Amino acid sequence: MRNTKALPIIGVALFLALASVLVAAKWMGDQGVSGTRVAVATADIVQGARLAPEQLQLAEWPVGSVPPGAITDLKQLEGRIVRSDVARGEPVLESKLAPPGTMGGLSAVVSSGKRAMTVRVNDVIGVAGFALPGNFVDILVNLESTSTDNGTRSPSISKIVLERILVLAVAQESNRDDSKPRVVNAVTLELSPDQVEKLDLARSIGTLSLVLRNQVDPQPANTAGATRESVLGLPEAKPAPAPVAAPAPVVQAAPTPVRPRPAAPRNDGVLVIRGLDAAPQAFN
């Protein structure tokens, strides 16, 4: 009898449990747990590489958390070039792909409106090999004192001329996954056209150095540059005044020669007066 009385309670408990499962399933469905298939990488893909079919697959992804730009059709990825590294299991996003038809190599990763320029460095200028692809650097130029046309000398100065410049590659390597420092003899930078012109002039008139900066620091330097006087704590040298040109000599015109007047002819004689008449009388 006791077991018979417990049956309704067990039945009610089973009904409530089933109802809870159904409600939870409906709630999870409303939250988008039912996934959609997006393209993910099956292996690490390096920057500038062309996608191959064996590197991709479709995987279930929660509908509510599908990242913007995710690809749902593998045919859209045939022959595409990746602009940045894609890790294994990471969704392949449109923002990480170069435009269709882009050729592979470093040119595929150069942003629109930018240019890639390579500068020669050494173990000191290249920040001891810590300037790696994906890092940002400032570019410093050191100018020696030179003579000007008016006889004065311009002071030597060290000045930051370009800031927050993206390093695209070191030597011939553009892989951003490697964090080990590498001492190389060339660094390729991403620059705007006006920055390319400024850097080309700077390396022809002075010595370049790279300054590694924080990845997320956007603040400009706003410095006036360092001179010999500012480093040693000396008063700033004032430029020597330009020499005053001597006045041009005044050329005086030669005086006009004065011709002597001809002497009046000599007249030897006397004046003879007769009454009211007077007449000269000459003696020969």
pLDDT reported for residue 2: 55
Domain ranges for the chain = 34-102, 110-232
pLDDT reported for residue 117: 92
pLDDT reported for residue 138: 92
If you write DSSP's letter for every residue of 201-237 in order, what string do you get?
A: HHHHHSEEEEEE--TT---------EEHHHHHTPPPP
Q: pTM higher than 0.75, yes or no?
A: no
- The CA–CA distances, whole Å, from 56 to 66, 77, 78 equal 17, 9, 10
Domain 34-102 has CATH 3.90.1210.10: yes
Alpha-carbon span 167 to 176, nearest angstrom: 10
pLDDT reported for residue 245: 62
Continuous H helices in the chain: 2-30, 193-205, 228-232
Which is it for strands 153-154 and 146-147: parallel, antiparallel or unpaired? antiparallel
Structure tokens at 145: 């004192």
Alpha-carbon span 247 to 244, nearest angstrom: 9
Mean pLDDT split into 10-residue runs, the chain, 284 residues? 66 80 72 72 86 90 85 88 87 87 77 88 74 88 78 81 90 68 83 94 89 85 83 72 63 63 59 67 62
Please check whether residue 174 is in contact with residue 109, taking contact to mean a CB–CB distance below 8 angstroms: yes
pLDDT reported for residue 46: 83
pLDDT reported for residue 178: 62
pLDDT reported for residue 25: 73
State whether residue 65 is helix, strand or coil: helix
